[in-house]
Chains A and B, each alone.
Chain A
Amino acid sequence: MNTIEEKLWSYIDGTCTPEDMQNISRLIASDESVRLKYQELLAFDKEFAAMELDEPSMAFTYNVIEAIRTQEAMVPLKTRVNKRIILGIVLFFVVSLTGFLVYALSQMDISSAKVPDIVSKVSVNVKLPQVNTHISKPLVEGFMFFDVVLGLYLFDKYLRRKNAGQLLSKK
């Protein structure tokens, strides 16, 4: 601390050491000019402490809450969906399918050529269509051509989306 004014401000704020407090108190009591300065600073301190706070507009709180609600509404759906729910659904299907598979395998008698009991017990009277007669070479080629075109279209769409994402991140 250098000046007497600095010392007096610290004294008023109560931020100086107890030893300094005693010294300054003594100085205020003994020195007329220091006492006058102290009284002047004390008056300013009271005035500063009495400063008034500004008031925002009446709708301020409402605007804040609305802004929060708007931002919350703008959050993409995928970030709001609880991942645990998705995992739960996946788990349910995996367990169910595994259960069915295990049950089906346990009912099968792989060693013998016999028809499994479960099948023999159920009287099935279904006539399967003869698909082989309809499958011809041009049909297979047409099907393959359609698959290739669909594959190219989806690949093109994927590349476009990837490029658009890269451009946005650069901006």
Chain B
Amino acid sequence: MQSKLSDIELIEQVLAGNQAAYADLVKRHQRFVFTLAMRYAKSREDAEEIAQDCFVKVYRSLASFQGHAKFTTWLYSIVYTTAMTFLRKKRVDTDSIDDEGTFIQVESQASVYDVNNAENKSRSFYLSQAIEQLLPDDAAIITLFYKGEQSLEEIAQALGMEANTVKVKLFRARQRLKEKLERNLKHEAKELI
């Protein structure tokens, strides 16, 4: 059986003209890229558009990937810039993305929709719900830290920030997430009583 190729090996194959290798690379990272896009877009359709745009951009600029940083760090920086560009285009007649209320409103509609499906609600559901209520940057930093296998320095590189800023943002994001998770769980407990 053929052993699993590394990202760099797949990139070399793509640059040699093997497009199937790029499909493998997309399959490998699509879940994380899509999740990261969801942190900014808040709708599956928009997140898919961002993730797709991102993979097309990556393909086009693959030759310029120097390999100084991890491929994932480079990939996530492209997700971030693509998401920002997408949001800037979409924000023409909507609220600011820094307005936390915008996302709480969106989420509250989803909560009402899901409220009757109590049996399916698990801790992971409440965690996802709490993450959706965070600011996009907070949600992205938490996702990159816990699921992206990225160090603080690598997150800083991907988001174009200082490592110390990321550390402070991560601390605050975790605090907010903890508060929201606790609040959602308390609210649910009250409903059950």
Contacts and interface: CB of A to CB of B under 8 A. Distances in A.
A56 B48 contact: yes
Nearest to B48: A56
B89 interface: no
A44 B173 CA distance: 13
Contact of B32 (A44, A48, A53): A53
Contact of B146 (A51, A56, A60): A51
Contacts of B178: 44
Interface string B1-23: 00000000000000000010011
Main secondary structure, interface of A, reads helix
B34 A47 contact: no
Contacts of B102: none
B143 A51 contact: yes
A59 B34 CA distance: 13
Contacts of A15: 152, 167
B128 A51 contact: yes
A65 B147 CA distance: 25
B143 A9 contact: no
Interface string A4-22: 0110010000010000000
Interface in A85-134: none
Contacts, number: 83
Given A57-B48, A61-B26, A71 B177 contact: no
Nearest to A55: B31
Category for how many chain B residues contact A: 35 or more
Tell which of B47, B146, B181 has the most Cβ of chain A within 10 Å.
Answer: B146
Contacts of A6: 171
B38 interface: yes
B51 A50 contact: no
A49 B123 CA distance: 12
Contacts of B35: 53-54
A32 interface: no
Tell which of B27, B35, B128, B152 has the most Cβ of chain A within 10 Å.
Answer: B35
A141 interface: no
A63 interface: yes
Contacts of A67: 52, 56
Given A54-B35, A60-B48, A47 B174 contact: no
A52 B22 CA distance: 25
A103 to B, nearest CB: 44
Contacts of B123: 47
A26 to B, nearest CB: 22
Contact of B177 (A48, A53, A56, A57): A48
A83 to B, nearest CB: 18
A79 to B, nearest CB: 13
Nearest to B51: A56
B59 interface: yes
A29 interface: no
B147 A53 contact: yes
Given A9-B171, A44-B181, A61-B23, 7 more contacts: A48-B142, A48-B177, A50-B127, A54-B44, A55-B34, A56-B30, A67-B52
Interface of A: 5-6, 9, 15, 44, 47-57, 60-61, 63-65, 67-68, 71
For the complex of A and B, 5 pairs with smallest distance between CB atoms: A56-B34, A53-B31, A64-B55, A53-B35, A54-B35
